[in-house]
A and B are shown apart, each in its own frame.
Chain A
Amino acid sequence: DARVTQTPRHKVTEMGQEVTMRCQPILGHNTVFWYRQTMMQGLELLAYFRNRAPLDDSGMPKDRFSAEMPDATLATLKIQPSEPRDSAVYFCASGLSLDTETQYFGPGTRLLVL
């Protein structure tokens, strides 16, 4: 049963610290998405990659967020420095870039910045 995995599942950190979240997409999927879920804003796209190339990162605060895909099996989302308003659940999703394909979501990383 292929699944998207995310680590860590939970993270508590202090304001100003660096946070790194990792995602392992489903093997063979060439598209990876990062979404953020908050009570106020709901689910919002932060960034997405196709064949490891970033296609859209307009949803990310560029001064503190960065997203990369070092290889096809790993996507990372970094926040430096973190702020309390970054507290949210961060989801990674993966899929194939075909017309009728869908996105499969990981369990999320629940981040709390104190």
Chain B
Amino acid sequence: AQSVTQPDIHITVSEGASLELRCNYSYGATPYLFWYVQSPGQGLQLLLKYFSGDTLVQGIKGFEAEFKRSQSSFNLRKPSVHWSDAAEYFCAVGARGNTPLVFGKGTRLSVIA
């Protein structure tokens, strides 16, 4: 069965510090991987996606993620966090052809001065 694990429920980082959010997936076929961000009271906004090719993908707002097949991971990174990055981050896996996504439980990011 497909599943996504985000081991960290809540992470706090200082503004300007680097960030890494972990995501591990279980998927029987070639995974299509996504990171979404949700601000309080808002919908989900796509940060980046991986389908194939270069395993390091760039997204919006300075985020990047690296696909590591051997580790079944798709971790999200940002070199310098801004206060506006405080939000909930969701990793998701799906199949080709835009099929339903399976989401992780999310990681809430807090940013302190």
Contacts and interface: CB of A to CB of B under 8 A. Distances in A.
- Give the most central of B34, B49, B51, B99: most A CB within 10 Å: B99
Interface string A37-72: 000001101001000000010000000000000000
A2 interface: no
Determine the main DSSP class of B at the interface with A. loop
Q: How large is the interface on B (under 10, 10 to 19, 20 to 34, 35 or more residues)?
A: 20 to 34
Question: Which range holds the interface residue count of chain A?
Answer: 20 to 34
A6 to B, nearest CB: 8
B105 A42 contact: yes
26 contacts: A31-B98, A33-B101, A42-B103, A42-B105, A43-B103, A45-B100, A48-B99, A48-B100, A91-B43, A93-B44, A96-B98, A97-B97, A99-B51, A100-B51, A102-B46, A102-B49, A102-B98, A103-B46, A103-B98, A103-B101, A105-B36, A105-B43, A105-B45, A107-B42, A108-B42, A108-B43
